[in-house]
A and B are shown apart, each in its own frame.
Chain A
């Protein structure tokens, strides 16, 4: 179980960081969400992985960590989930507004957006050109 959880945290973090470093707001938001999942799992694992034990005290059961799981990380995770969830909503609204206002969601703004469009157009034209060439060759 430890290995599965640890690799899940690792993969989520790696994917989150990769997406966070991209230039478009949608990727960044997705990256932040993945990162927050990884963090939640990490905090949860901070209370040790124990199966089948309750976090609340019961009458007749000794009140120690041999018979219970640590409840504090679960409370911390709950706080973290709520905050991350709300922040994702805020960022999405903000990203949509920013894109509508500035006509671009590129991190470097308008100039980078124009450059990106020109490059894409050139690439399409080139692809169309080679496709035409291929068709002519075939014909």
Chain B
């Protein structure tokens, strides 16, 4: 059997255990970093190999412990999982680079948490069993609590408690939905569920739909859809920079789960075919408007970045809820772009914050900013990309998405929504850039006392030069540029992934075909 899929989970698990033993107070930080980077390189190699295999259109099934699929847990790798795996790891590499500039020394066990987080992400993308998805959700959430809170204090603790409590409540709902589904259908394998839903007796149908709806509510909570979005700006604003950047993929995990369960388990022609898409479309649109307003109203660069992440998740909800191969394919390209660009903005906010002394990254305060050329240029690239202006990746993603919107009653409104919110985000980003990078001196004729706390650039404490942090931001923006250069093959790949998702019965076939090799003990 091909053991590649399980390696993507085992490598970070072992690396996390190792990093836990190589405590940096005793051995210095170098051994931990070596372990972290070795594991990252190995995972990237595995993800690349998996993507190459998945690109042929084959659905790889791996039976854990060689149990037959209906008894044990199966990992499944298709184009979508391979893409998500690769995006998560590329983002992780940039965050790790940023953390190696010094944050990993301040937060105890940073590397162990980080590897566990990657393990949870990889597992969530690879698993084909819905209870196993819950377990990997927990793995990635628990390590995200650790990443967010270790080395922090004060307000971050309060925001962290809210984040933890909210996620535990969501996980409890997840379990309720799983209990109902198992009780009604007798299976928790995602592909198997597709068949069982179609065969469910008519009197159970309402309950099955309720369970499926609960499941979607949980995923939407993770992906921050409208009534459940309040946790996101608060949490992301208070998280340390490298961690907030990594969290840009966390909302995408929820979206991935919506797409996976929505197309695979409840997507096959049956009573539940596409039952949630209209509601998700409306809520996604509302979230997008709210996120655009948030971008306009944000007073700090970090909360502006958080609202942009919210906006990108909402755009993806709109794209996925239209449920056409074209929109889903464009959405997947946009997903990769928005993860990288959003993360870059979080890292940038940290660069800006440390240069401005007491003013931090607040944009309503006029403050001097020494050596602002590099952050200014990086901000320009990130803002152009996030607002969806040509020639960067955001433009391509939105263009392909708008082209793929099916002609009909809704076309005009969706175009208006996407373009209108893009314009609002553009205004918000332009205002932030102007205030942070250009208005670095008080108005000469301002009322006395208006700029009482102003500190000139010479008096500011010198920001520690950490070239690795700039390099990490550059790397993330470089991914975006690479996505433009390789746009044609990437869009072909995402379109093929979307087409594959429309054929849920292929997955069942592959799963049934995977028979364990019976070995003599």
Among B157, B158, B169, the one with the most A-chain Cβ atoms within 10 Å of its Cβ is B158
Cα distance A47–B169 when bound, in Å?
23
Cα distance A87–B155 when bound, in Å?
21
A107: chain B residues within 8 A (beta carbon): 162
Interface size on B, residues (CB 8 A): 27
B131: chain A residues within 8 A (beta carbon): 76, 79
Smallest distance from the beta carbon of A77 to chain B beta carbons, Å?
Answer: 9
Cα distance A70–B119 when bound, in Å?
30
Q: Is the CB of B182 within 8 A of A72?
A: yes
B59 contacts partner chain A, Cβ-Cβ < 8 Å? no
Q: Is the CB of B168 within 8 A of A87?
A: yes
Q: Is the CB of A91 within 8 A of B168?
A: yes
B135 contacts partner chain A, Cβ-Cβ < 8 Å? yes
Q: Is the CB of A76 within 8 A of B165?
A: no
A8 contacts partner chain B, Cβ-Cβ < 8 Å? no
- Residue from B138, B153, B168, B183 within 8 A of A32 (CB atoms): B168
- Give 1 or 0 for each of A40-66: 1 = CB within 8 Å of chain B CB: 001101111000000000000000000
Binds B, one of A95-103, A116-124, A130-138: A95-103
B85 contacts partner chain A, Cβ-Cβ < 8 Å? no
- Residue from A46, A83, A86 within 8 A of B179 (CB atoms): A46
Smallest distance from the beta carbon of B177 to chain A beta carbons, Å?
Answer: 10
Cα distance A1–B352 when bound, in Å?
63
Cα distance A86–B135 when bound, in Å?
13
- Residue from A25, A45, A80, A101 within 8 A of B175 (CB atoms): A80
Q: Is the CB of B178 within 8 A of A83?
A: no
A20: chain B residues within 8 A (beta carbon): 165, 169
- Give 1 or 0 for each of B39-68: 1 = CB within 8 Å of chain A CB: 000000000000000000000000000000
Known: A98-B161, A109-B158. A39 touches B175 (CB 8 A): yes
Please report the number of residue pairs spanning A and B whose Cβ atoms sit closer than 8 angstroms. Answer: 87
Smallest distance from the beta carbon of A128 to chain B beta carbons, Å?
Answer: 33
Known: A20-B169, A101-B154. A47 touches B160 (CB 8 A): no
A80: chain B residues within 8 A (beta carbon): 175
Cα distance A102–B142 when bound, in Å?
23
Cα distance A35–B167 when bound, in Å?
13
B515 contacts partner chain A, Cβ-Cβ < 8 Å? no
Q: Is the CB of B178 within 8 A of A102?
A: no
Q: Is the CB of B178 within 8 A of A90?
A: no
Q: Is the CB of B161 within 8 A of A46?
A: no
Q: Is the CB of A43 within 8 A of B135?
A: no
Cα distance A83–B134 when bound, in Å?
11
Known: A94-B160, A101-B153, A101-B157. A47 touches B183 (CB 8 A): yes
Known: A45-B179, A76-B131. A39 touches B157 (CB 8 A): no
B145 contacts partner chain A, Cβ-Cβ < 8 Å? yes
Known: A43-B175, A91-B165. A97 touches B145 (CB 8 A): no
B176: chain A residues within 8 A (beta carbon): 39, 42
A69 contacts partner chain B, Cβ-Cβ < 8 Å? no
A-B contact pairs, 22 of them (CB 8 A): A25-B161, A28-B165, A32-B169, A39-B175, A42-B179, A48-B183, A73-B179, A73-B182, A73-B183, A76-B179, A76-B182, A84-B172, A87-B168, A91-B168, A94-B149, A94-B161, A97-B157, A98-B158, A98-B160, A101-B154, A101-B157, A109-B158
Residues of B within 8 A of A (CB): 131, 135, 138, 142, 145, 149, 153-155, 157-158, 160-162, 164-165, 168-169, 171-172, 175-176, 178-180, 182-183
Q: Which 5 A-B pairs have the closest CB atoms?
A: A46-B183, A43-B179, A98-B157, A39-B175, A42-B179
